[in-house]
Amino acid sequence: MLPKYKRILLKLSGEALMGDKSFGFDNDVIAQYARDIKLITDMGVQVAIVIGGGNIYRGMNEQETGIERAHGDYMGMLATVINGMALQAGLEKIGVYTRLQSAIKMEQIAEPYIRRRAIRHLQKGRVVIFGAGTGNPYFTTDTAGSLRAIEIGADVILKGTRVDGIYTADPEKDPKATKYNQISFQDCLSQNLKVMDMTAFTLCMENKLPIIVFNMNETDNLRRVVTGEKVGTLVV
């Protein structure tokens, strides 16, 4: 089946890489993600990726840690680069060409983020992983994902999570929660549904960039989403 989307930005949480562990990486999860990504690149889909850093470090409460917010955010950015390197290794192990670009200069391990170069890599069939968020404190990796998706002209943001879409309430806490197959940006706002942080969500809404929230931990879901099957929840 032909893909519905030509160029996507895949947003993954750092916690997703942990699998059932309480810290770090689960090699089986990384291997599954790599296989799923290879499947769609083999179909000709251009793939860019943004990963969070929550499995290594996430912005803690400043009063608890004594680490000021900006300093902590930079620590989180470095964690996303480590995650990017881990996924890069998993992809290259199965023959997928990748480029890791960082918003913070670290020439020995990653290219600096340059928009035109990123687009050229995508056109050549390489998977581009964007590390270090936006390079600025006070912005989440959700915002980095939205920003990079708009900059590279992605058709859609695919937000891979542990749940299979957007619900009326948290399905892990409320058994009566029902899932939306499709919902508008305005309805998400009016119902206060936490799809992304407000900055990231507003960027997508203003630039008319659709978001699909789906369960990335289910094998083959990524291919199904990319070919237009009704998986997860579409925000338009």
Encode the chain (236 residues) as per-residue pLDDT tens digits: 899 999 999 999 999 999 889 899 999 999 999 999 999 999 999 999 999 999 998 766 677 778 999 999 999 999 999 999 999 999 999 999 999 999 999 999 999 999 999 999 999 999 999 999 999 999 999 999 999 999 999 999 999 998 899 999 888 889 899 999 999 999 999 999 989 999 999 999 999 999 999 999 999 999 999 999 999 999 99
pLDDT at 173: 87
Specify the long-range contacts of residues 27-36, CB closer than 8 Å, at least 24 apart.
Answer: 29/217, 30/86, 30/87, 30/90, 31/90, 32/217, 32/219, 33/87, 33/90, 33/216, 34/87, 34/90, 34/91, 34/93, 34/94, 34/96, 35/94, 35/219, 36/216, 36/219, 36/220, 36/221, 36/222, 36/223
Domains of the chain: 7-235 (3.40.1160.10)
Rounded to two decimals, what is the model's pTM? Answer: 0.96
